[in-house]
A and B are shown apart, each in its own frame.
Chain A
Amino acid sequence: MKIKINEQEIQFSGSKTILEVAREKGIYIPSLCDHPLLKPFGGCRLCLVEIKGVKGYVPACSREAEDGLEVITNSPVLEEMRRQTLELLLSEHPNACLVCREKEKCEEHKITIRKVDEVTGCIFCPKNNHCELQKVVQYLGIEKIRFPSSYRGIEIIREDPFFDRNYNLCILCGRCVRICHEVRGASAISFVFRGSQTVIGTAYNKPLLDCGCQFCGACVDVCPVGALTERALRGELEAEKEVTTVCPYCSQACLLKIKVREERILGAEPANLESLGGMCVRGRFLIRDLVDNPYRLFKPYLRIDGELRETGWDEALDYAASKLASYSSDEIALILSPHLSLEDLYTLILLAQQGLKTNNITLSTANDSFLIIEKLSQENDFYLPLNYHPQDLAEARCIFILGGDLTVLQPGLWVEVLRAVNQGAKLITLDSVGRPYDRFSTINLKALPESWPAILARLIELAARKEGVFEKIIPPFFQDEGIKTLTRASEAFNPDGFEEKIEEAFSLLAHNKSVFLLGPGFWPFHRAEILSLLLNLVQLFEARLILFGQESNSRGASALLGRLKLWPLSPFDLNRQITSGKIKAVLCFGPWPFLGPEKPPFLLLVEPYRNHFSNSAEVLLPAATILERGGTFVASNGLIKRFGKAISRLNESRPDWWIGLQLGCRLNPDFPIFADEEDILRTMVPLFPELKNLITTDSLELKEVLTTALIEEKKGKKKLINLSFMENFFGIVRKGVWRLLIEFSIDHYRSLPLALVNRDFRRIRLPKRVKLHPEEATKLRVADGDAIKLKKGKQSLETRVKISSRVPPSVLLFSLGLAYFPEDPASLFIISSFSREEKGSLIQEVITIE
């Protein structure tokens, strides 16, 4: 198809607006409200164009380009109209600097800086020099504003975490409202009031914290002016450089543009449009806290005479190696974090196998879903594709989410789900707690996690009957009565029509192309059982399975361990062996969530941060954070991303692989020597042929993010897993009135809980509060923020209340990340509240509230 813009003939294809076609060709049409992620809005009226044969003037942003259109974008009439529109806009926006004749000289000599105050000038505006309004004013050459100016005088809203809202600068382009509604599905803000009183606001002007805001920062990123600004950047000078890297927090692995000045991180922004819609509060606002915080370790420490003393690297490593050499290989264990890069993990596994001659390795994520799948598929000899492309979700007609709040854990994936839902896909949720996306779902299955296996098993039963494989996978003890008995027996079902809801869900899943999304869920969570059930469902429905809410390199760690056929110890086993004295030395490269009261005699801690274990460690080695060195991650969708460092290493911290290598060489003279990360990747190629494409240069000089896909080795081989394990499945037996529900969070990097280092983040997540249903709160006569005391036997825990209607009645909901477990009194209380009974089910002790 062809159109003519300003006499220039342009070829284009597909459905595009005139503005898009013009932009692709480099023809500038001023516009302030249009954004590539958003639907056409036609609000600012600056992109008006003339079309031959069409009466009047047409906004280019909302008119589809049709074959043969002749468009004029820059006639004198249009320019004059735009100027007038812009002057009207500017009459309500501070404009002294925008139309100042000495603007250019001012940049250099600051001659007029004192002539305008903060309210009317640009000089103190955080968006100065990045402002889209400034650009348009310059393009249209506005020198004078013919309308009287009026300053709105709205108070700046500073009460919310992370960003300020100054609606005196707002031009009402609506980008923030639209991205919140269209892309994120949060609709926390909208246009309120009407006519000249219109502002962007929340319901009854409540703070964003109470309006379902996810603090993803998308509104800040699309704001063309300085109305929405990140508070941490206030008072900072311009960034000297911007480095593109991969977000270190979760396995969505968004691309970040990190702003750096004098080797200090100022902040991070989404590096591309894809990340812009899908960022989360961690990646958008907490990157700086990962590097700069008071818990950072900068020097190696040795325990001398019971006290930790600063020392040099050689001394520390020699001491550690000599100490480790004194233990036999069975007595040593290694704990690895899934936040480590592939290079680190590989070197540390070599350290275990060749240096320490042990296979006692465990991942700090107790029971990593990716790893369970690796194991299940190797044991049962089937192959399940886990890699996914955006179109896999876009083409799905039915999406089943279970195991956590997708908008909190991995919003990048949620954004894709929402897009599919907006195109007609049906959403089914299985959850214990209300979620913000419940309002988008067709079927809402609300049940406590102990009933989930029964619900999934019921779905399998229905599918298996249809496929004629019922006898094959449903064990005999269910065949007579069916699993209905099991679902009936498990508690906390919606009394009305729950069975029908499951059947409805089945018919949706059976008749549509489906995707299952599984999050980390609740603790204690029957993850292996749930995964076995899901794998059957996925195969029966010919659906896909996507895991969300995992640590940044969780998939990489699992792939590496799976390919080496190394199945890590469960953390409980490890604890048992430490308590019994079988394991005497532990090397800890990550958080260690389930540590009991017994500590091993020799503890070597390699971490970027001081943590609660530092006091019991013999040796403390400062690891560099991933931002100071670069690395390689495998994202949850199977893309391998290799990236460089954002800043140089701080002080004496070193990469984990270097530490592993140094220890390895001291323990075993034949230990392979790596010069750099490049070298490690090259050695890994026989195991990971995919990495070949990523080896180009040393990671220290890597300027961009290199990406390649994880190869899917085999093609879908079907094999159903027999459900015989369900025979012993009785879930959790609750004693007393209250049910403790512990939701997994991934708000940590290695052993650092992010809420510990950022006050604003604490306000969002309230990590130490117990959440209660409003009716229960009324019964107990407690309000938000009140202190209550939970008691269990002789143990007690003082905590504060957060009232939330999302929590089901008679439930005490805690949210805990791996990095929280041991240091928080809540976690000790929680872990000790469950005891294991025979047959694998758990008993939850009686809990009372004072």
Chain B
Amino acid sequence: MSCLLIKKMASEDKEIFKGLELNQKSLIHLLHRIQAQYGYIPEEVVDDIAERLKITPSEIFGILTFYKAFALEPRGKHLVTICLGTACHVRGGRQIAEEAERRLGIKAGETTADRQFTLETVNCLGCCAIGPVVVVDGVYHSHVSIDQIEKILKKATEKGDEKN
């Protein structure tokens, strides 16, 4: 999809602005909708919503980069999120993340070349009791150990294939 097309869609897509006041307060809500629709926040859209919400692109960029929920680049088909919060960290979250990086051949925050997986780390998911936690496409895996990673990743691809 070309960038121009995306921009057009965002600005003409009435649905995306539905029920929102056109001011600063709506920013995060709007970004969530755009993230859900496009899988990331395209640069052109930022200029567009800046003008509509009467704020500057730099201010929006500050918000975008603050929250892990927003991606600056298109994410892969499957999103793997590994928790590195304190509780998960002390139970080996770091090693799990490294294992996932090795298996997928990418660093945290990157997307595989075949656009299948995006690997991300977060600082806490709020479910410390079941750590270390790995979330794949919204499914929480608890008490994960290094040797389970391969299976978890495989399952994700199979699930995706079934849907197709």
Enumerate chain A interface residues (CB-CB to B < 8 A): 181, 186-195, 201-204, 211-212, 439-440
Contact = CB atoms under 8 A, between A and B. Distances in A.
Nearest to B123: A195
24 contacts: A186-B56, A187-B55, A187-B58, A187-B59, A190-B61, A190-B62, A191-B66, A192-B61, A192-B62, A192-B66, A193-B66, A194-B65, A194-B66, A195-B123, A203-B46, A203-B57, A203-B61, A204-B57, A204-B61, A211-B57, A211-B58, A212-B56, A212-B58, A439-B54
A189 B65 CA distance: 13
Main secondary structure of the interface of B (DSSP, over half): helix
A191 B62 contact: yes
A218 to B, nearest CB: 15
Contacts of A188: 56, 58
Tell which of B46, B55, B65 has the most Cβ of chain A within 10 Å.
Answer: B65
B58 A202 contact: yes
B152 interface: no
B54 A201 contact: no
Contacts of B61: 190, 192, 201-204
B60 interface: yes
B89 to A, nearest CB: 14
Nearest to A190: B62
Given A192-B65, A193-B65, A194-B65, A204 B43 contact: yes
B56 A187 contact: yes
A190 B62 CA distance: 6
Nearest to B53: A439
A189 B62 CA distance: 9
Given A203-B46, A204-B43, A190 B58 contact: yes
Interface string B31-61: 0000000000001001000010011111111
Nearest 8 A/B pairs, CB to CB = A190-B62, A203-B57, A439-B54, A203-B61, A187-B56, A203-B58, A193-B65, A192-B65
B28 to A, nearest CB: 15
A477 B12 CA distance: 45
A189 B66 contact: no
A208 to B, nearest CB: 9
A603 to B, nearest CB: 49
Contact of B58 (A189, A193, A194, A439): A189
Contacts of B59: 181, 187, 190
Contacts of A202: 58, 61
Contacts of B60: 203
Interface in B100-158: 123
Contacts of B51: 439
Contacts of B55: 187, 439
Contacts of A195: 123
A179 to B, nearest CB: 14
Given A189-B58, A204-B43, 20 more contacts: A187-B55, A187-B56, A190-B59, A190-B61, A190-B62, A191-B66, A192-B65, A192-B66, A193-B66, A195-B123, A202-B58, A203-B46, A203-B56, A203-B57, A203-B61, A204-B46, A212-B56, A439-B51, A439-B54, A440-B54
Nearest to A195: B123
A489 to B, nearest CB: 31
A201 B65 CA distance: 11
A440 B57 CA distance: 15
Given A203-B46, A204-B43, A211 B56 contact: yes
